[in-house]
Structure 1
Amino acid sequence: MQEHKRKRILITGAAGFLGSHLCDRFIEEGFHVIGMDNLVTGDIKNIEHLFHLAQFEFYHHDVSKFVHVPGELHYILHFASPASPIDYLKIPIQTLKVGSLGTHNLLGLAKSKQARILVASTSEVYGDPLVSPQNEEYWGNVNPVGPRGVYDEAKRFQEAMTMAYHNFHGLETRIARIFNTFGPRMRLHDGRALPNFISQALQGKDLTVFGDGSQTRSFIYVSDQVEGIFKLLFSDYPLPVNIGNPEEMTLLAVAQEIIKLTQSQSSIRFEKLPVDDPKQRRPDIDKAIRLLNWKPQVSRKNGLENTINYYRNLFQEQ
């Protein structure tokens, strides 16, 4: 912890689900944390518990516009972006801009400050994959002009721009390919499978499963994701690394498990599969195990119970 004292880190998307947990972690590790968010999809409540701390400051700013941070800066975590289909279908152009202009601005800032930057990429760069599990050498199967293309291609461009700065300018860069992450602070109406299922189950509503529910996902609890990102930032590996849980489940099985854990009387309702919805998601994490000495520790059941309790409390507060 001593070596991190007075180190300054900028975390974009700080009021979001993952960003806020990263703020907590770096505060705990002794960093001075500068949070930045335009609050389009983030929630200030996620970080208001940090506002009284001298080692935390917050900038209400859109990183798609010029980014200035006075003073020294040692690290940057670029986590600003809509991350749910419900968001990036609603604000497609902003999604493209934060992945392109925002990434360019932050890489430029990192270069001027001689800071190391880690960018949050996604398993969505693999699109609807033709191989399983997906390893980092797989180039993906993405529809660039489909409804999900605004997010998928923004993240693919982000990776390309990051590697260009690494190769051309010698910038210290890291790329985390993040798989489905869940836990407290995910929004109730986030639009992704787990928040939807839990929210519906707790309200006694039918759980909405798209298609026949045979499509698979691999869910990782937020504390495991944060640990993987932390270790990746302080590794010396510049190429993309999958951070996820290789335990694969069908969405139908996940919905059934949540009904059981919430002791809900809900049924399951099937709806039409959205366009380009991936049929499989399962990370190959051999690289993370080998390079970072990291793998998930929290069981899905424990993670789901923590998340369900968080949502229960949210409903009680409303």
Structure 2
Amino acid sequence: MTQRTWAAAVAVPLLLALGMYAAIKPLPFVTYAPGLTVNVLGDNDGRPVIDVQGHPTYPDAGQLRMTTVSVTDRNSDLDLLTLMRTWFSRDDGIYPFAIQYGSSGSSQEDQEEGQVEMISSQDAAVAAALRQLGYSVKPNLQIVVVQPDMPSVGKLQPRDILLKVGKTKVNPKTVVPNLIAAVPDGRSVPVTVERQGKRVTVHVTPRTVDGHKYIGVKLGIGYDFPFQVSVNINDAIGGPSAGLMFALSIYDTLTPGSITSGGVVAGTGTITGHGRVGAIGGIQQKIVGARQAGAQLFLVPAANCDDAITSDHGSMRLAQIATLKQAIAEVTAWGKNHDVALPQCTASKRSGT
């Protein structure tokens, strides 16, 4: 056997082995696929998704559908072959791991963050809808997550409005960790909250972890509302991107008539308490999910137009939306005439969005 033949005999198996290793080695990416869509004007386990107490409600025979994306878990091992199959899929997408999950964290932290964002988006949606209807809405500080195996378990609850820590009254600008840090070691602190309209005080003993004291809650901005509006959605759904559709559905539920005129509208977008619509991730997969669910119109945050116009939306119309006020006007106009001119996501609008 010549030296060249021998080298080839060794090199070919090595190259094959290297190729097989590269094909099965986990790579730092995540995949997006179209997720479920939910008619926010409908019911969830026999209860209205938009549940209102203390104000008349008005049913809408149409649909306002929130959209979701199915994202691979941070612990998933995605190899080259799996990613190649996703790459060739018309509906799915591939994104760098760091864009979705950052450089650190855990699945539990991801879940907690998603819950915080979901609760905050629901409250912002209620605030935006009520302000659109002329109500005065003031912000407060509320508990959005009670962390497992921490001192607040069984004492504090999500949606509790924080009123006082010790003798200090709390407002949205209060630095609560500083109040907890000031509690003497081994001592409890009285925490006063408003829970379902009643004032409740519990005593919690902070726990020291890595030199810092915690009671085991995460806080977010809530609002004082003139009547009760709650959003009943599956606990497995997290994130802030349904804010626009929540706000639109709340407005529709609280006003006579039907803004959809019986049509099927889907959409996505974060929302602020003052009705500004913000960008989200996975717009292309959400559009596909909405089209598969039979939506006729899709509301696109202005900042997502670049990706939306290249999506597989079929005959479903896309409307560029910047505020809740605009969304109400465009859906109402479309409901009356499906051929009405709408602010479209087109190539001419891509700059400056």
The alignment's TM-score, normalised by the length of structure 1, stands at: 0.23
RCO higher in 1 or 2 (8 Å CA, sep ≥ 6)? 2
The alignment's TM-score, normalised by the length of structure 2, stands at: 0.21
Q: Which has more helix, going by share of residues?
A: 1
